[in-house]
Structure 1
Amino acid sequence: MKSIFSIPLLFLLFSPVVNAVPEGPSNRHAEFIALKGAEASNFKVPDTSRLMRTLDLKKANAISKRYQQWLGDAEVLGGQLTVLTTPAGETVAVIGAHYPGLMSTNDIKINDKAVQAVAVKNIGNAGKWSTKLMINPADGRYFYNVENQRADSRWFYWIDATNGSVVNAYDGLTTGSGIGVDGNIKSLLDTTWTGSQYQMISADGRQKTYDAKNKSILPGILAVDSDDNWNLPGTTSPGQPALVDAHFFANVTDDYYQNIHDFNWMSKYPQGMVSSAHLKRKYNNAYWNGTQVAYGDGDGITFINFSGDLDVVAHELTHGVTEATSNLIYQNESGALNEAFSDIMGTNTEYYFGTGNWTIGEDITPGDNGIRNMEDPTEDGYPDNYADRYTGTPDNGGVHINSSIVNHWYYLLATETGGIGLSAADQIAYKSFTSLNSTADFCDARAATIAVATNSEESHVTAAWDLVGVTEAICGASSDPGTGDAPIISDVSSTKLKGLQFRISWTTNEPATTEVSFTCCGTYVKNEFVTSHSYTFSGTKGAVYTYYVSSTDVDKNKTTAGPFTHQN
């Protein structure tokens, strides 16, 4: 836990059980965790976190377990933890966030059907809908996360569970043998003979490729050929080069993830890697929509067929990997991390295939040298330092623009003088980025990459972050819980006083001078230094209060005791 205080901190958190009200927003902060070594070994997964999935990372000699924090039936926004262990069970790293003592500040008065109707008013009724109840630890409010999935959009609406107001809304669509787009012959061993024609379905069913016929309806028509040569020319439908590349490069990407990171696409997406080429007419983009990837043909001037570059194909498919692991929210810095991870892994896939370089999309930009340059982001007008980051609202808060800062960090880590090399950098990026919680920011990524690095790698990881301006001065000290024994809290009790007053008392082995923060009913009440381990409060008649006592010492060791209750 990060702290700027030089004396032990003691937080006392109250709320009436009747209204399920937590500590207020002024007192609640993101409890980001990035532990390694002894601190990771001593970590205990909180009882409020439930196991989501387990991955066996054989190449990294690690097991990855992902946990989600819950409050009753509500998922906690950003409350994910990933625990990395050896096959023998020894914990080597813990990455993510947890919010101790979290309780709600509002009631659930609207059902999931009603909140879907709110979103329908804005975007219409078409598409596939899903709704889940969540709680935002920043303000303690329940909200519904309503998702609408269509061929060319993926809207998320966050709707307050009490009054039905729209808290947040964004489009989470992650844009971004035969003869291929580049004219080179590619061996297509993975097609299927039906008895009358060949289909672009791999023999093991892992890749399926469709022709969207220059329309937006997906997936389109399954790609077929009479002789398995797949050489029908043309940049638009029914031209086959774009289909060949989409299928071939999906297979390369699948091989990379299986062979280097033990990621099995089919375990999350049993439909396989579904790709559609010839999306719309002169469409200058490609995207992952939650179930498949789709590629436009380009306008022939700025871009040609988007499936014609391996790093673009791997970039889009990596959005599927992100969704299956960290599920980074596609807004602001978490969205920029999402985009950067796709660029990083797209580049790694190209190097795996033997055609690597540090530009993205260089094979589909006939009038230019690519979309983004990881070696020199400023060449294409992108920032290479956190001080120059974009802070506006377009581009979902700069998800593509600011991704270049993290891209450049990765380039420096892998290649600069004293760098650790691509293979080691690849493992650090994969283990850390797939372990992040969904609301992670650049500082969290910094801490996570340091946590998964070996002792010999750690200084290189840190130096690369410093060079792009994501420094300890900006982020604060490491989020590990420090060294030594954690504070001891005991003898916690409540005593009725005169009228509606009551006193909470406790003992601790920390000095008596502590800072106490107190909240009730969703509103910050008092923040003052006290000289004894007690706090007096004037409550409401008949209310039942729940409270926690948390103590953090100068070495950043933290203990939370509770919950406790008081009947007033």
Structure 2
Amino acid sequence: MNKKLLLPVLVLSTTVFAGTIAPLPSEAVHSEASTEAIAEKQGLNNGNKPLFVIEKQAVKQKASNAANALEHLEKNTSKYKIKNPKASLLEKKTEKDELGMTHVRFQQSKNGIPVEGSEVIVHYNQNNAITSVNGEFNTSVENAEVTTEPAISQEQALAAAKQAVNAPEKLDYAPSSELVIFPFGDKSYLAHKVNVNFLSEEPGNWYVYVDAETGKVIDQYNALMHADGYLPAEGSGTGVLGDHRKLHVSHKNERTGDGTKFYLQDNSHDGLDGIYTYDLAHQWGGLPGEVHSKVGSAWKAEYDEPAVDAHYNSEKVYEYYLEEHDRNSIDGEGMAIKSSVHFGKDYNNAFWNGHQMTYGDGDGEFFVPLSAGLDVAAHEMTHGVISHSGGLKYQFQSGALNEAFADIFGALVDEEDWEVGEDIMAEAAKESGRTSLRSLSDPSKYPVGSRYAPYGDGSGMYPSHMDEYYDLPRDLDNGGVHINSSIINHAAYYTGEQIGKEKLGQIYYRALTVYFTPDTNFSQARQALIQSAIDLYGEASIEAIATEDGLTQVGITE
């Protein structure tokens, strides 16, 4: 008799597990509310006011630049509810897109210090006319008296942050810190925003907000989103599932006693700093490890298989973003794409840590090596794209959007189906009924972890509609980033079935890169996605109607 396996809920990009599936309680805590009301309840009622204004008549300017955008905002303070735009908005970046539109992104500041999560974007058409303004502006910060002189040093803040997250003394990456105005609850704090990144059996990419006056931790969350002298060459290898892979590799112009040594290092793409696959040799630290190498250009040993898939899949994801969205690598500017395999022992996860992808080998019972999944690679690399684009904060609804977009682009790169992770499930998991990690077409076919079930509608399954939304606290799954993401996933599925995956990708990529800001919630995402479809295909187009319909079908209606 086969025993029934309780599959740990894999959380790509965060901690190893979200918990195991367990019997559900007879009663569940749930309250129906609009997306805006939920966002307010989750502690986002800190004065950050969503802004999305479509100009009925485009406002002509002499040029599409930041100066003219500020002048426009100054002339329309009552419309945008920004009292003094020139004093409170700093230009962050200005970009021109393939439609000829220009987008000026401003960072809200107070006395030159950035306000966390508050950005305003002014959009011009190709005729230098302002067509829309969107983002968030924090009116509470604008009106509040906030000191801008820290009493706590960066070194003291770092010590407090490391202690708060139990970081090891030696960090894998140098920590960073910046002074920000951090709205939290009903108060605005001057805070050191400290990033602490480390590897262990529970790796972390923590953001910790330390009160710059008292040294106390205000908030924290883990944003782990679960070579010169080398000559290009071609090689081949066998992947985890037995697939034959053609590989772009490198070698040095030298020979060992056994022959020429080759490296999983691809320098064949113009404008790209390379694709590198490293071997961590089952260590829990020491990223990125050593570039995976061997004598001869054929990687066919069992130990090579995870590296072969990581290398091959990284190139496939790179090609997707380049060909479909004219994006050169994760940052859009050709940054090196790095992956490390053989992380730890029996590690059932993969993650983006803010710098690179890292893959565990799985335990062989629930998961095979996670680099086997093209959609898993696309999921992790998309987290990198998000961090360099909309920068969605990894908490609550913005974090759920972050996870959803990683899943959605995973399903777009791996065109075969609407599942994520179907290629990394071990036989025992499949026998128990878990044939993938998540499903965009039918999210509710899988249960959430037992810790999350009481916060839903009582079904205990992944939600497909806002009526099934999980009202999780911030210390569980960062407020539901992996759970509530399935609602957005399902909306994308409905739209994709109507217009196809290629157009779906164009619309969702544009919303992410043009309209999203760090605190974008579900309601704002609806506006951004519909506007992106209108930009690309026209106001009454099938594509715009399908985008709106997908969101409406999952209950995101405002």
Structure 1 position 428 matched with structure 2 position 525: no
Q: Residue 81 of structure 1 contacts residue 95 of structure 1 at CA under 8 Å; is this kept in 2?
A: yes
Normalising by structure 2, we get a TM-score of: 0.73
Instruction: Please give the secondary structure, in 2, of the residue aligned with 1:449.
Output: helix
Q: Residue 269 of structure 1 contacts residue 291 of structure 1 at CA under 8 Å; is this kept in 2?
A: no
Match of 1:286 among 326, 350, 355: 350
1:280-359 paired onto structure 2 within 5 Å: 280-351=344-415, 356-359=416-419
Instruction: Please give the secondary structure, in 2, of the residue aligned with 1:345.
Output: helix
Write the deviation string for residues 385-407 of structure 1: whole angstroms up to 9, x where unpaired.
11211122311111111110000
Q: Residue 96 of structure 1 contacts residue 436 of structure 1 at CA under 8 Å; is this kept in 2?
A: yes
Structure 1 position 223 matched with structure 2 position 223: no
Instruction: Please give the secondary structure, in 1, of the residue aligned with 2:142.
Output: coil
Write the deviation string for residues 236-280 of structure 1: whole angstroms up to 9, x where unpaired.
xxx111111111111111111111112222756765010001111
User: How many aligned residue pairs are there?
Assistant: 435
1:53 alignment partner in structure 2: 93
- Shifted more, 201-210 versus 82-91: the winner is 82-91
2:238 alignment partner in structure 1: 179
2:192 alignment partner in structure 1: 144
Structure 1 position 31 matched with structure 2 position 37: no
Structure 1 position 134 matched with structure 2 position 198: no
1:371 alignment partner in structure 2: 437
Partner letter of residue 390 of structure 2? S
Distance 2:489 2:316 in 1: 22
TM-superposed deviation, 1:423? 2.2
2:281 alignment partner in structure 1: 213
TM-superposed deviation, 1:34? 2.5
Distance 1:271 1:375 in 2: 33
Distance 1:231 1:362 in 2: 23
Q: Residue 287 of structure 1 contacts residue 293 of structure 1 at CA under 8 Å; is this kept in 2?
A: yes
Match of 2:556 among 426, 449, 470: 470
Q: Residue 328 of structure 2 contacts residue 334 of structure 2 at CA under 8 Å; is this kept in 1?
A: no
Partner letter of residue 316 of structure 1? E
Distance 1:39 1:76 in 2: 31
Q: Residue 93 of structure 1 contacts residue 451 of structure 1 at CA under 8 Å; is this kept in 2?
A: no
Instruction: Please give the secondary structure, in 1, of the residue aligned with 2:265.
Output: coil
Instruction: Please give the secondary structure, in 2, of the residue aligned with 1:251.
Output: helix
Structure 1 position 102 matched with structure 2 position 154: no
TM-superposed deviation, 1:164? 2.0
Q: Residue 277 of structure 2 contacts residue 307 of structure 2 at CA under 8 Å; is this kept in 1?
A: yes
Distance 1:424 1:444 in 2: 20
Q: Considering fraction of residues, name the structure with more strand.
A: 1
Distance 1:27 1:311 in 2: 35
Distance 2:58 2:465 in 1: 31
| Greater RCO, CA 8 A, separation 6+ | 1
Q: Residue 77 of structure 1 contacts residue 439 of structure 1 at CA under 8 Å; is this kept in 2?
A: no
Distance 1:252 1:300 in 2: 25
Distance 2:59 2:411 in 1: 34
Q: Any stretches of 5+ residues in structure 1 without a counterpart?
A: 5-24, 234-238, 473-568
Distance 1:373 1:333, change over 3 A: same
Distance 1:148 1:216 in 2: 17
Write the deviation string for residues 514-558 of structure 1: whole angstroms up to 9, x where unpaired.
xxxxxxxxxxxxxxxxxxxxxxxxxxxxxxxxxxxxxxxxxxxxx
Structure 1 position 115 matched with structure 2 position 157: yes
Distance 2:44 2:400 in 1: 27
Match of 2:495 among 413, 420, 426: 413
Q: Residue 191 of structure 1 contacts residue 201 of structure 1 at CA under 8 Å; is this kept in 2?
A: yes
TM-superposed deviation, 1:26? 12
Q: Residue 73 of structure 1 contacts residue 133 of structure 1 at CA under 8 Å; is this kept in 2?
A: no
Distance 1:27 1:314, change over 3 A: closer
Instruction: Please give the secondary structure, in 2, of the residue aligned with 1:154.
Output: strand
TM-superposed deviation, 1:67? 2.5
Instruction: Please give the secondary structure, in 2, of the residue aligned with 1:264.
Output: coil
Distance 1:318 1:192, change over 3 A: farther
2:20 alignment partner in structure 1: none
Distance 1:28 1:181, change over 3 A: closer
TM-superposed deviation, 1:132? 1.0
1:565 alignment partner in structure 2: none
Q: Residue 386 of structure 2 contacts residue 392 of structure 2 at CA under 8 Å; is this kept in 1?
A: yes
Larger Rg: 1
Q: Considering fraction of residues, name the structure with more helix.
A: 2
Partner letter of residue 361 of structure 1? G
Instruction: Please give the secondary structure, in 1, of the residue aligned with 2:159.
Output: helix
Q: Residue 105 of structure 1 contacts residue 141 of structure 1 at CA under 8 Å; is this kept in 2?
A: no
TM-superposed deviation, 1:344? 0.9
Distance 2:198 2:101 in 1: 37
Distance 1:169 1:291, change over 3 A: same
Distance 1:462 1:268, change over 3 A: closer
Distance 2:501 2:100 in 1: 18
Distance 2:352 2:44 in 1: 37
Structure 1 position 232 matched with structure 2 position 291: no
Q: Residue 295 of structure 1 contacts residue 306 of structure 1 at CA under 8 Å; is this kept in 2?
A: yes
Match of 2:116 among 77, 80, 87: 77
1:444-455 paired onto structure 2 within 5 Å: 444-454=524-534, 455=539
Distance 1:208 1:94, change over 3 A: farther
Instruction: Please give the secondary structure, in 1, of the residue aligned with 2:408.
Output: helix
Q: Residue 373 of structure 2 contacts residue 421 of structure 2 at CA under 8 Å; is this kept in 1?
A: yes
Match of 2:471 among 381, 384, 391: 391
Normalising by structure 1, we get a TM-score of: 0.72
Write the deviation string for residues 41-63 of structure 1: whole angstroms up to 9, x where unpaired.
476354232232344543x5544
Instruction: Please give the secondary structure, in 2, of the residue aligned with 1:304.
Output: coil
